Amino acid sequence: MKQTGLLLLILSLTVQLVQAQPTLTLANRKLSPVLQNNSKLLANKQEQVFWIVASNIDSAKNYFRANNLPVTILQERSGGLLVVRAKGTTLDAQVLSQPFIRFVDVPRQPHEELALSPFDNSLNTINLAHSKYPQLNGSTMVVSVNENKPDTTDIDFRGRYISTPLSSPLISSHATYMSTIIAGGENSFYTSVGVAPAASIISSNFASLLPDADADYRQYNVSVQNHSYGTGIENYYGADAAAYDASTINNPGLLHVFSSGNSGNQTSTGPYAGISNMANITGSFKMAKNIITVGATDSFGNVSFLSSRGPAYDGRVKPELVAFGEDGSSGASAHTSGAVLLMQQYYKEKHNGSLPPASLVKALLVNSAEDKGTKGPDYLWGFGCLNTYEALQELANEQYYSGSLTQGAQQTFSLTVPANTRQLKLTLCWTDPAAAANAPKALINDLDLELVNNGNAQVWQPWVLSPAPVIDSLLLPAVRKKDTLNNVEQITIDYPVAGSYTIRVKGYSIPSGSQAFFTAWQATAADQFQWQLPASVDYVTAGENNLLRWSSTFNTTTGLLEYSIDKGASWQTINNAATLATGTAYWRAPDTCTTALLRMTINGQVFKSDTFTISPIIPVRVGFNCPDSVMISWDRVPGIKKYAVYQLTDKYLQLIAPAADTSFIVSQPGGRLWYTVAPVISNGRYGMKAYTINVTTQGVDCYLKNFLVDLVNNNTASLTAEIGTTYNVKSFTFEKLMPGGYQLLQTFQPGNLAFEYTDNNLADGVNTYRVKIELTNGKAIYSDPQSVYYFLTTRYIVFPNPVHSSGPLMVLMKEESANTYLLLFNSMGQQVLQYQLTQTVESVALPNLQSGIYFMQIKKNGKKEFIGKVMVVR
């Protein structure tokens, strides 16, 4: 009886609990979480934009038309998506209940997710890829930066930005940073080199949150679109997520790359509501399956505190990758987009111009990523840290298989694992059909990956994470089991037995048609060491601490780290017990300009770096900027006898001439305004280029850098001037304007760049000066005039005279007064102007007076204090 009573009590409480739960009507279940949580949007009687997903677009359009509904269709998208303008009340009362309406959402306001300020292309082996694959620069590729518009005048995009109607009218520095990371041309400084420095760039407005039209991607040959923005934490598969999955299906070579977000310390919503520091990816569009979502790390490969974490709303692994983005996941996404461009370029060159399928590129990027943190995939690191060089290596070595499956079918591939393999890694990836908006589970086609050891029949399944909405479960390490959520599956085996293996891919659930897939593989050998920084394309800054970076598969803990600046004839110790596992060390490079080598000695094995350059950063200045010639100069670098001068041309810096001295004159520069210099170390080997300068913005005109005249102690004029160079200067003279013209004050012989003079003989009123520079060829260069105003007997100075009828007429007063007026009279004695003078310097606008002589009075407290004449001209 007691047990029966207890059961009845539990049943009663359960019923009450169920009854207490809020229930959604059929119509409400069609609403996105954004609309469910903001009922005001549907109660709003003002028109706004909605996304409507219909099972049949024609049915929806016919219904709107037949009932004369005030619904304006703005766009039609694949997957039954309609972008409409309507009142929320109209949708709520007359649309939601219709059986062909599946889902309704609203666009949200996107925001940029911080920019990358530090530069480091070594963490993700981008510079190593540049060094080993110098032909890969993105030259045949086009990237779309989906946000606001970058600064199209930035010299690092010179000649490679393509203007299209897709771009936003707003220009932002964030878009400029992202474009530089992806495709900067290294024109301003070496830190502005992008991952794909020859790629073309277009900009696409992110205001709609939906992908561009398929025709737009094809028209502009876009193969990568970078999305470094977010909205808020949105844990559902929205119409936008379905649209991006469909975009990849419709454009098989197009890969969308998203930042994960900068909300890693925030509490989740949706299925993971209330869980802190997890499931906080910023935007439902990032829940798409066929994209890559990228989290951020610092320059040591540690995931940033604010980097948004997974899982996706249905438990899938998100982010897929992490990459360097110390100030936000924006930069991480941009680095990854650049890496994709390099891979696509390589594939195109080997396959007659065809792009690789997006699922192949994704499989290779995931498979080559460096696993960090918890072993196997996790919701913080995804599948690991982007490794651009290894991804290219797998592509170049064709370390992948392709296939296609129907329901219940299976394909197998043979793989031989060599001896001394430290780890074997396999990754299966496929482009999955778009799911229905708001689907509880996004995966449509379910493939299964298995690996079989042919010697003993042992079978390995992929790593799978627990998606249970409990923090302890989400932090559990992955286990080997069947994966029913992800369209990316991965198997790793540490120290596999050498021999023959079989890769099996099964079509477990493919409701219709067939599903294409790719499987990438990697066998990492034990006892391997590789230098990552510096590579041959890198510069080490002379006299400063520089980061060194390497990868190692040795079990040994330390190695001997040394450097040489004499081509290996002798070696100097940096650290006799460098910790190999950290993969990094700091080295204070010698204060010199030369080539150098590094080497690491481990258990008697020696690993030398590529030859790299140690170089100081030299400042470049403008000596003169004259119409017919420009002179640039720089500091001498000890031990360097020759310098290379570069000029910015249509796209890139181009070597124009060698220079034996520390200055160079460019004759007839025309519109070429940008220049830089690098020390020449040896034939074909150059030091670090200086910051590129625009000769018109350095404050130096034709020899004269500045000329200032100041009034000192209310009775003395102090004249100071500076020239950019003494080259070809015969003399320098200060002159003063007198009634008969300019007269010499003092002449200096060249020797210094700065000059001073004091004039103790000021005239009452305006005192005007200029500089005269006489060159050795007899040519004279004059500065613009500069003036000081001296109040000796007068209390007022009025100028210019003559004055243009549009003004202004300047009036200087010795002291401020609250009751002082300027009056102007024409020749007929009629007053044409009255202006109250309240400050010591007044700019008086003229009422577009006729040409002629006007009589002027200045009255203070009604008493006449100053009279004069003013000539007005038109």
446-459 pLDDT, tens digit per residue, is 999 999 999 999 99
Cβ–Cβ < 8 Å for 54, 102: yes
| Matching fold, domains 28-105 and 796-873 | no
Q: How far apart are CA 21 and CA 10, in angstroms?
A: 17
> What SS3 state is found at 343?
helix
Contact partners, residue 630, CB within 8 Å, separation at least 6 = 622, 624, 665, 666, 669, 675, 695
Predicted confidence band of residue 827 (pLDDT cuts 50, 70, 90)? confident
| Average pLDDT for 614-630 | 91
Q: Quick one: pLDDT at residue 1?
A: 40
In angstroms, rounded to a whole number, what is the distance separating the alpha carbons of residues 13 and 804? 91
* pLDDT value at residue 393: 98
pTM: 0.84
* Topology (CATH) of 529-614: Immunoglobulin-like (2.60.40)
CA–CA gap between residue 382 and residue 377 (Å, rounded): 5
Whether the per-residue pLDDT at 20 is higher than 80: the answer is no
Task: Quickly state the pLDDT bin for 79 (edges 50, 70, 90).
Answer: confident
The distance from CA 242 to its chain's CA centroid, rounded to whole angstroms, is: 26
For the chain, the structural domain boundaries read 28-105, 111-523, 529-614, 616-697, 704-790, 796-873
> What is the per-residue pLDDT for 14?
35
Contacts of 158 (CB under 8 A, 6+ apart): 185, 187, 648, 650, 651, 652
Q: Tokens for 320?
A: 């897929």
Fold of 796-873: Immunoglobulin-like (2.60.40)
Closest CA to 568 of 542, 540, 596, 587: 596
Secondary structure in 3-state letters for 723-750: ECCCCCEEEEEEEEEECCEEEEEEEECC
Residues written for the chain: 874
Tens digit of each residue's pLDDT (9 = 90 or more) over 21-42: 334 444 567 899 888 888 788 8
Percent of the chain with pLDDT over 70: 96
Query: 807 falls in which pLDDT band (50, 70, 90)?
Result: confident
Q: Which of 221, 429, 255, 282 is nearest to 338 (CA)?
A: 255
Q: What confidence tier does 351 reach under pLDDT thresholds 50, 70, 90?
A: very high
Q: Describe the chain by its helix, strand, coil percentages, rounded to 5.
A: 15, 40, 45
Is a pLDDT exceeding 60 seen at residue 16?
no
The pLDDT confidence band at residue 313, using thresholds 50, 70 and 90, is: very high
CATH homologous superfamily of 111-523 equals Peptidase S8/S53 domain (3.40.50.200)
Name which CATH class applies to 704-790: mainly beta
Which of 222-231, 311-320, 791-800 has the weakest average pLDDT? 791-800
pLDDT classification of 6: cutoffs 50, 70, 90: very low
pLDDT at residue 119 in the model: 64
What class does CATH assign to 28-105?
alpha beta
Question: pLDDT at position 818, please?
Answer: 78
Query: What pLDDT was estimated at residue 117?
Result: 52
Q: In what order do the strands lie in the sheet with 545-552?
A: 529-533, 545-552, 584-588
The number of C-alpha atoms within 13 Å of 27 and in the hemisphere containing its C-beta is 10
Mean pLDDT rounded to a whole number for the chain = 92
Q: What fold does the segment set 616-697 form as a domain?
A: Immunoglobulin-like (2.60.40)
* Sign of CA pseudo-dihedral 555, 558, 559, 565: positive
Cβ of 370: how many Cβ atoms within 10 Å?
19
**pLDDT the model gives residue 265:** 94
